[in-house]
Amino acid sequence: MPELLQFLLSGITVGAVYALVALGFTIIYNASDVVNFAQGEFVMLGGMITFFAHAAGLPLPLAALIAIIVTAAIGVALNKLAIEPARGAPVVSLIIITIGASIFIRGATQLVFDKQLHRFPAFSGDQPILIGGATILPQSLWVIAGALAVFICLWLFFTRTLIGRAVLATANNRVAAQLVGINTNYVMTLSFAMSAAIGALAGVLVTPITLTGYDVGLALALKGFAAAMLGGMGNPKGALVGGLLLGVLEAMTAGYVSSQYKDAAAFVVILAVLFAMPQGLFGRKSTDRV
Amino acid sequence: MRLSSKVTTLLILAAVIAIAPVFFPSSYYFRVGSLIFVNGLAVTGLVILIGYAGQISLGHAGFAGIGAYACALAPVHLGLHPALAALLGALLSAAIAYLVGRPILRLKGYYLAVASLGFGILVSMVLSNEAQLTGGPDGMAVPELGLRAVLKAIGIDLSNTEFWYAFSGLVLVIGAWLALNLYHSPTGRALRALHGSEVAARTVGVDVAHYKLVAFVISAVYASVSGSLLALQNKFITPDVAGFMHSIEMVTMTVLGGAGSVLGAILGAAILTTLPQVLTIFQEYEQLMLGLVMMLVMIFMREGLLPSIARRIRGRAE
Amino acid sequence: MKFALTTTALALILAAPALADIKIGATISETGPASFLGDPEAKTLKLLVEEINAAGGVNGEKLELVIYDDGGDPNKARTFATRLVEDDEVVAVIGGTTTGTSMAIIPVFEDAEVPFISLAGAIEIIDPVKPYTFKTPHTDRMACAKIFEDMKKNAITKIGMISGSDGFGASMHKQCLSIVGDYGIEVLADETYGPTDADMTPQLTNIKGKEGIQAVLNPGFGQGPAIVTRNYAQLAVGLPLYQSHGVASDGFIELAGAEAAEGVRLPGTALLVAKLLPESDPQRAVVTAYKDAYEKATGKPVSTFGGYAHDALRILVDAITRAGSAEPSDIRDAIEATKGLVGTTGTVTMTAEDHLGLDLSAFRMLQIEKGGWKIVE
């Protein structure tokens, strides 16, 4: 039995990482119907900037704060310089623009920082916590708590605040939103800033576990994207459940079936879910218009 | 005379392929040229899927992988001639595309993107995990096509790079010709109708699911043949050919040059194949520049390079 | 005006590199999944060429290095290889960071008859011997042999393996399995992980749960082994952990954390333990000089991989010097006649049958203790 529990804890840890990335996807998608493939680079920037600020002598919390603010600013710049000018472009163009942005950010990071792998210390030590014969690191609890906290904040934001509803309204119908007096440009800027900040926060939380380097973003973006689609794009609940499900699925496959094909198992399940529910587990229903 | 006319496109393509070598200072340029043609072929298939039918795929490198490994494996295990192996790969790709396409193509937009991405990742995972068969991530050797020796016997002596330039160029012209024929056929019209609006196409009696599947299968065959050509040319293959980045590269070439036009997409292939070679002068700034070019073209030339330029020229002429 | 033009033209001619320069090429994976290996390799080549030129070049001629970044993609590497041979017309090429890129470009050099020194691990590169292909790193099989020898010495007969599924891990995994029987060792558990995985506790839990396992071996490079080492400590597996030469750098201890890495054993090169070598060790002077120069120029700790590039360039320069000519075929013959050349990986003596020229003594069994290295033999 301890094995099962260990697999589960591992899956939840990794799943919380995916969930954090997927939650970042959610906000931008909600505001603009854009899936931002540069989301993984925000996570990478969060980790890298924190590491280098910390290495330069700043205390860890301050370094993390700087990383989140700088990344949020980069998110806003991405929106202003690349997404806004391309408004109305088809899905495939937007995919290429955001992938271009991610290559650009990666290229800039390797120039500004370096191409080595890095890690900074865990927030509350490395002493494993024993739970019924299985172990979990304190940092994993930080990641899980982070994912839950971001989820709750987003859920409250989208359902309880005026501005959150304005974001949803903008995604639904930009012109109508403008007509009822919503400043859609502001909404877009805000959602990119939030999304980038959440990505950077994810980077800060996970780096002590997963390590960071200039090219870790793409893999994270792919897994986060898959998790978000599994749960249903645009729904914070979907991002959280999708992420955790994906993580647990991988851990269970690695533990009980074959560690070689754990990623394959994850994608097979995603395909199966999408065939049965084309909008993901909690996705919005959409109807075609002529 | 209109730019989109079939004959003009083919003439331009054939003329460029035939005349370009005059300006090549060394045989390295033949190598770059043949890579452009190999990519151009895959991209022509994607024009049918993305440009004609309006669907998206982030997993077509998976089919290129099937085509490439067919050429590596079938000669060794089945004793097939490499050319027949390529054909087998194309048939296999078509069959797999048919089976996978049915459920996948019911999805739309980003959901289709993630499903096709999953398919591509599955293929590349099998190729790198089944190491006994495929040599794993380190790859495996591919046998010689043998056509060069035949040509030499009848008096046409080409160097390796020259031969592959000519041969891939020829295959590309044939591929482009087939794609252009398709465009003007009833199937092509049906595809364009469903690109405009699936609901509208359905109401006028187009079997939407069927035609999407047709486009998917055809584009898979193009990708597979392109993978085979790459494998035979390099005589060595690794799972990278089926990787996610290769899928993205293919889609980017298509859209960058102009997904609606065969010539445009091939231009896109030419630019993105040459770009890394040109960008070497920027050294560490290479990636930075590549990302920048991708963003700028897609922001300022939404229909892709060639259609945007053509429109601008036409606009000035009128 | 005319005078000004003439002087400018003259100045340009004078400033242009002399035609007699010796042009050498390199295609390295500076970016991409193998950048962890390629980055120090490229930095080393640039650094050393500068150093050699500052000291007067080779046979009185300056070296010119043409270096391309293939991003770890064999297809790109092949194009750059063609470019180096056909367009840049270099006399020799160093590179092929990974086995995949090396294997893809070997035919180009064999066809063009240009000597090529690979920096990748797999034995296939030099076995069977190809006339123009050489390599500097020990083969994966030698690393496996070194590890199994140490296990045998410690009476370990049953082990678990956890390998990276990238090229490096998969290749070493294969080589280890092919010789493990010769040492009377049995592999009871055989797990893998992806190169970007964040947690390996499920695999390690399975290994831990297998009855009778006495030690664990982890072939891999990059972040994977660091995470394996951390998870290993987290699960308190409590058995000896062997890593591969893929993580032989100070950076690994930093990533895994000194506490988790305590007691980890791996086959490393003299480069890592420059300061611990006895004065009499022939490698001491070479590795110390390279280590100091690299760390001063880049501010990063040296790694085994940069050392491979160092050795490749030294072998090449030594061959050109002895050949007294920059003709590719003369260089090839001279490389094959390399004798007693002391590099960072070991002392290289090549023959027509051996295009690597290293034996097992090149490896040193190292153990991590209190965040530093200790030689254990």
Q: Number of folded domains in chain B?
A: 1
Whole domain around residue B92: which residue ranges? Answer: 6-243
Look over chain C and give the mean of its residue pLDDT values, rounded to a whole number: 89
- pLDDT tens-digit readout, B303-312: 888 888 888 8
CA dihedral B244, B245, B250, B254 (to 10 degrees): 110
Q: How far is B303 from chain A (nearest CA, A)?
A: 9
Q: Is C5 exposed, middle or buried (0-12, 13-18, 19+ CB in 10 A)?
A: exposed
Closest CA to B277 of B33, B7, B8: B33
Question: Is residue B46 within 8 Å of residue B60, measured between CB atoms?
Answer: yes
Residue C66 above 80 pLDDT?
yes
Q: How far is C82 from chain B (nearest CA, A)?
A: 6
Q: Which two tokens stand for residue A29?
A: 């998608």
Q: Is residue A255 a contact partner of residue C202, using CB atoms and an 8 Å limit?
A: yes
| CA C325/CA C9 separation, integer angstroms | 31
Phi, psi of C295 (to 5 degrees): -70, -30
| Across B68-87, average pLDDT | 94
- Which tokens belong to A228? 């978000």
B106 with A97: Cβ contact below 8 A: no
Alpha helices in C117-162 (DSSP H): 140-153
pLDDT band, residue A286 (cuts 50/70/90): low
DSSP state for residue A212 in the 8-state scheme: B
C206 vs A: CB within 8 A: yes
Question: What distances in angstroms separate CA A55 from CA A59, A61, C24, C132, one per listed residue?
Answer: 9, 13, 38, 46
CA–CA dist A269, A251 (Å, integer): 14
Share of chain B above pLDDT 90, in %: 53
Q: How confident is the model at residue B192 (pLDDT cuts 50, 70, 90)?
A: confident
Choose the closest CB to C255 out of A211, A260, A262: A211
Per-residue 3-state assignment (H helix, E strand, C coil) for A46-102: HHHHHHHHHHCCCCHHHHHHHHHHHHHHHHHHHHHHHHHHHCCCCHHHHHHHHHHHH
Say whether pLDDT at B45 is over 50: yes
Nearest Cα residue in chain B from A38: B291
Contacts of A91 (CB under 8 A, 6+ apart): B56, B109, B110, B113
- CB-CB: which of A96, A222, A268 is closest to B255? A96
Nearest residue in chain B measured CA to CA from C125: B138
Q: Which of B235, B246, B185 is nearest to B214 (CA)?
A: B185
Helix, strand or coil, per DSSP, at residue B226: helix
Looking at the domain assignment, is residue B255 inside a domain? no
What domains lie within chain C, and their CATH numbers?
17-139+287-360 (3.40.50.2300), 141-274+363-375 (3.40.50.2300)
Look up residue A214 and give its DSSP letter: T
Q: In this structure, what DSSP letter does residue C30 have?
A: -
**CATH-assigned architecture of domain A2-276:** Orthogonal Bundle (1.10)
C254 contact B CB<8A: no
In a domain, B302, yes or no: no
Distance CA A240, CA A150 (A): 10
Instruction: Name the burial class of residue A88, with classes exposed (0-12), middle (13-18) and buried (19+) by CB atoms within 10 angstroms of its CB.
Output: exposed
A222 chain-B contacts, CB cut-off 8 A: 117, 121, 244
pLDDT tens by residue, C155-181: 999 999 999 988 889 889 999 999 999
Query: Distance, in angstroms, between C192 CA and closest chain B CA?
Result: 10
Q: A261 is written with which tokens?
A: 């094909």
Paired tokens of A111: 């120039």
> What chain C residue is nearest to B280 in terms of C-alpha separation?
C68
Cβ atoms of C303 and C43 within 8 Å: the answer is no
Of the pLDDT bands very low, low, confident and very high (cuts 50, 70, 90), residue A278 is confident
Interval C48-56 mean pLDDT = 93
Inter-chain CB proximity B125 and A85 less than 8 Å: no
Residue B72 contacts residue B142 (beta carbons within 8 Å): yes
| Residue B107 within any structural domain of the chain | yes
What's the pTM value of the predicted model, to 2 decimals? 0.90
Average pLDDT over chain A, rounded to an integer: 89
Pairs across A and C, CB distance < 8 A: 100
What is the enclosing helix (H) or strand (E) of C364? strand C364-369
> What tens digit of pLDDT does each residue of C227-270 get?
999 999 999 999 999 999 888 888 899 899 999 999 999 998 88
**At B4, is the pLDDT very low, low, confident or very high (cuts 50, 70, 90)?**
low
Is the pLDDT at B1 greater than 70? The verdict is no
